[in-house]
Amino acid sequence: MARTFTRPEEVRLPAATLLRTAGGYDLLAAGVGPALAAAGTATALTAAALDGRPYALVVSAGIAGGFQPEAPVGSLVVADEITAADLGAETADGFLPVTELGFGTVSHRPPNSLVRVTAQVTGARPGAVLTVSTVTGTAARAAALRTRHPGALAEAMEGFGVAEAAAAHGVPVLELRAVSNPVGPRDRAAWRIGDALAALTEAFGKLVPALESWNPHDHR
């Protein structure tokens, strides 16, 4: 994805390194999982604010598992809802999200106007993207997730952490994912990571001009 941008330079932060591009975009490899993604994003947001150049938008991008048949391998998904799917408690009566335990949040919603623009210019399908700490490896768990989240199109591991950090700074968030494999039984021979990354790079080539014209105060 960094190939979409020109002349990046390294900017070292505590526990993170940014690639700052000539166009004014900062790229951060946030790592795997919601906790590391949240920590890295929060570090970058704080450093930018202290430097007097706060971000107007945070974008979480990467590959994901797609729920079939709605999100086939090679397709793009833009999150209209970023949800922590396994943040809560397992009980005898089933899973309870942390909100039903009386605290916290489990979902963030990107600005509708930005989701629409992203879908229009990249061809990404809008839908919920689930954040999990343990990726799904069975048909039973995939079915359980779809039952709890019927609008889910994809499963990844970082979006909710990024969204939590962005929300703490009052910055809107966007999540864009390219589907590299189906959600369900792990069949590594069927993964298409290279194709997904290529699709993501192509999408960013179309998305960057749209982001430059998007009004960050339009949170509808």
What pTM did the predictor assign?
A: 0.90
Model confidence pLDDT, tens digit, residues 169-215: 999 999 999 999 999 998 888 889 899 999 999 998 899 888 887 76
DSSP 4: G
If one counts every other C-beta atom within 10 angstroms of the C-beta of residue 67, the result is 28
Model confidence pLDDT, tens digit, residues 54-103: 999 999 999 999 999 999 999 999 999 999 999 989 888 888 888 888 88
If one counts every other C-beta atom within 10 angstroms of the C-beta of residue 42, the result is 18
Helix crossing, 159-168 with 34-50: angle to 10°?
A: 30
Q: Is 120 left (phi over 0), alpha (psi -120 to 50) or beta?
A: alpha
